[in-house]
Chains A and B, each alone.
Chain A
Amino acid sequence: MNNKIIKLKVKNHPGAMPHVVSLFLRNAINPDVLLYEQDRNKKSSNIYFVMNNNLNTEQILKQLTKLQDIINISVCDDFIDNSFSDFLNHKH
Chain B
Amino acid sequence: MKFNGAEIIIKLLERYGVSIITGIPGSANLPMYDALYQSNKINHVLARHEQGAGFIAQGIARSTGKPAVCFATSGPGVTNLLTAIADARIDSVPVIAITGQVPISLVGTDAFQEIDTYGLTIPITKHNFFIRDVSELFYAIPEAFKIAMSQRPGPVVIDIPKNIQQQPYEFNEWPDFNIPNNSPIDKPAIIHIAEMINSSERPLIYTGGGVITSDSSAYIKEISKINSIPVTSTLMGLGSFPGDDPMFTGIPGMHGARYTNNIMMQSDLIIALGVRFNDRATGKVDEFCPDAKIIHIDIDPVEIDKIKQSTVSINGDIKEILKLLIPDLSENTRENWISFIMKQKEQHSCFIHNDPWHPSNLIKYISRIVSADTIITTDVGQHQMWTAQSYPFRQPRTFLTSGGLGTMGFGLPAAIGASIANPGKTVICISGDGSFMMNIQELATLADLKIPVKVIIMNNHHLGLVRQQQEMFYNSHIFASKFITNPDFAKIADNFSISGYSIKQNDDLAVLKDALLSSGPCVIDLQINHEYNVLPIVPSGEANYNMIGG
Contacts and interface: CB of A to CB of B under 8 A. Distances in A.
A62 B302 contact: yes
A58 B302 CA distance: 9
Given A18-B122, A59-B302, A59-B306, A68 B147 contact: yes
Q: What is the size category of the interface that chain A forms with chain B?
A: 10 to 19
Contact of B301 (A15, A19, A22, A65): A65
B246 interface: no
Contacts of A22: 122-123
Nearest to B156: A68
Contacts of B119: 18
Contacts of B425: none
A68 B301 contact: no
Contacts, number: 24
B183 to A, nearest CB: 12
Interface string B291-303: 0000000001110
A43 interface: no
Contacts of A15: 118, 128-130
B253 to A, nearest CB: 23
B491 interface: no
A22 B127 CA distance: 12
Interface string A12-52: 00010011001000000000000000000000000000000
Nearest to A60: B302
A62 B118 contact: no
A63 interface: yes
B152 to A, nearest CB: 9
A18 B130 CA distance: 12
Q: What is the size category of the interface that chain B forms with chain A?
A: 10 to 19
Most buried by A among B118, B122, B130, B300: B122
Nearest to A69: B127
Contacts of A66: 300-302
Contacts of A59: 302, 305-306
B337 to A, nearest CB: 34
A11 to B, nearest CB: 11
Chain A facing B: main interface SS: helix
Interface in A34-92: 58-59, 62-63, 65-66, 68
Most buried by B among A18, A22, A65: A18
B439 to A, nearest CB: 28
A62 B122 contact: no
Nearest to B130: A15
Contacts of A18: 118-119, 122
A62 B129 CA distance: 22
Contacts of B301: 62, 65-66
Contact of B122 (A19, A58, A65): A19
A58 B305 CA distance: 10
A15 B122 CA distance: 9
Most buried by A among B119, B126, B129, B301: B301
A67 B542 CA distance: 34
Contact of B127 (A58, A62, A63, A68): A68
Contacts of A68: 126-127, 147
A12 B462 CA distance: 52
A63 B118 contact: no
A18 B127 CA distance: 12
Nearest to B123: A22
A25 B277 CA distance: 22
A65 B151 CA distance: 13
Contacts of A19: 122
A62 to B, nearest CB: 5
A5 B549 CA distance: 52
Interface string B115-156: 000110011001111100000000000000001000000000
A66 B92 CA distance: 14
Interface in B241-258: none
Contacts of B127: 68
A47 to B, nearest CB: 15
Interface in B460-483: none
B302 A63 contact: yes
B147 to A, nearest CB: 6
Nearest to A18: B122
Nearest to A64: B302
Nearest to B119: A18
A27 B122 CA distance: 15
Nearest to B129: A15
A39 to B, nearest CB: 20
Contacts of B129: 15
Interface in B504-545: none
The 6 closest A-B pairs by CB, nearest first: A68-B127, A62-B302, A22-B122, A62-B301, A22-B123, A18-B122
24 contacts: A15-B118, A15-B128, A15-B129, A15-B130, A18-B118, A18-B119, A18-B122, A19-B122, A22-B122, A22-B123, A58-B305, A59-B302, A59-B305, A59-B306, A62-B301, A62-B302, A63-B302, A65-B301, A66-B300, A66-B301, A66-B302, A68-B126, A68-B127, A68-B147
Interface of B: 118-119, 122-123, 126-130, 147, 300-302, 305-306
Interface of A: 15, 18-19, 22, 58-59, 62-63, 65-66, 68
Given A62-B301, A63-B302, A66-B302, 7 more contacts: A15-B128, A15-B130, A18-B118, A18-B122, A59-B305, A68-B126, A68-B147
